[in-house]
């Protein structure tokens, strides 16, 4: 596990734990996003996601973490010149109609700036993953997507945060997710 993931993992673990056990946390996660009304009360696909992600072998990271577009320049899901190639976490939610939402999560530490093309790349990658999931053996099939940013107030005020459908400040996350570490 690299140094960044080691620092971010406790926050991402707390987010995942809340999403996996609480329908209210899932509804809160997507509140205000364009898919919120369609996916309110949705179930989370824990075992289905684990089975697909770990089809060949278990990853070093949890099964829901670090979904990469590709590690080379041929990835069609990113901004030209950007190194942004992954979603920190993806959670799959199924609604009562059987539709599946991929909730792409980005985590930024306090005072951590966006990398070039990072916020712009998130919706492109999420849309690309929705179109290409059939050709990605470790990605669950899904119909819709949303992008969510966990960050401090400075990143929230950055105009580029508008590329995320939902922006959650660390203080709000700490009030909502009991296990969320102090930032």
Which secondary structure element, helix H or strand E, spans residue 29, and what is its range? helix 23-30
User: Looking at the predicted structure, is the pLDDT value of residue 3 above 60?
Assistant: no
**pLDDT at 76 (0 to 100):** 63
* Closest to 43 measured CA to CA, from 23, 14, 24, 25: 23
Cβ–Cβ contacts within 10 Å for residue 37, how many? 9
Decide which of 76 and 20 is more confident.
Answer: 20
Cα 93–Cα 172–Cα 88 angle in degrees, nearest 5 = 45
**In degrees rounded to 5, what are phi and psi of residue 42?**
-70, 155
With beta carbons less than 8 A apart as the criterion, state whether 106 and 148 touch: yes
**pLDDT at 41 (0 to 100):** 98
**How many H helices and E strands in the chain?**
7, 6
**pLDDT at 118 (0 to 100):** 86
- Distance separating alpha carbons of residues 87 and 93, to the nearest angstrom: 16
3-state helix, strand, coil in the chain (%, to 5): 40, 20, 40
Q: Which two tokens stand for residue 85?
A: 């190639």
- Hey, CA dihedral for 26, 9, 85, 122, is it positive or negative? positive
What is the per-residue pLDDT across 81-113, written as a single tens digit (0 to 9) for each?
666 678 899 999 999 999 999 999 999 999 898
Do you know the residue count of the chain?
183
Beta strands in 11-110 (DSSP E): 43-44, 65-68, 86-94, 100-107
Cα 170 to the center of its chain, rounded Å: 15
What is the per-residue pLDDT across 108-137, written as a single tens digit (0 to 9) for each?
999 898 888 889 888 988 998 999 888 888
**Could you tell me whether strands 86-94 and 43-44 are parallel, antiparallel, or unpaired per DSSP bridges?**
antiparallel
């Amino acid at each position: 596990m690299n140094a960044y993931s080691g620092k971010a993992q406790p926050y991402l673990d707390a987010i995942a734990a809340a999403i996996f056990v609480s329908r209210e946390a899932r509804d809160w996660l997507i509140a205000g996003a364009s898919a919120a009304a369609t996916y309110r009360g949705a179930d989370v696909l824990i075992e289905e996601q684990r089975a697909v992600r770990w089809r060949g072998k278990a990853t070093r990271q949890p099964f829901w973490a670090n979904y990469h577009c590709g590690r080379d320049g041929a990835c069609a899901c990113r901004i030209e010149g950007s190194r942004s190639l992954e979603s920190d976490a993806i959670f799959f939610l199924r609604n009562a109609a059987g539709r599946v939402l991929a909730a792409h999560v980005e985590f930024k530490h306090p005072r951590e700036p966006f990398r070039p093309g990072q916020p712009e790349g998130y919706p492109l990658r999420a849309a690309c993953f929705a179109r290409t999931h059939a050709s990605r053996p470790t990605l669950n099939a899904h119909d819709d997507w949303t992008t969510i940013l966990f960050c401090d107030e400075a990143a929230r005020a950055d105009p580029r945060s508008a590329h995320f459908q939902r922006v959650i400040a660390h203080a709000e996350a700490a009030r909502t997710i009991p296990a969320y570490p102090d930032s």
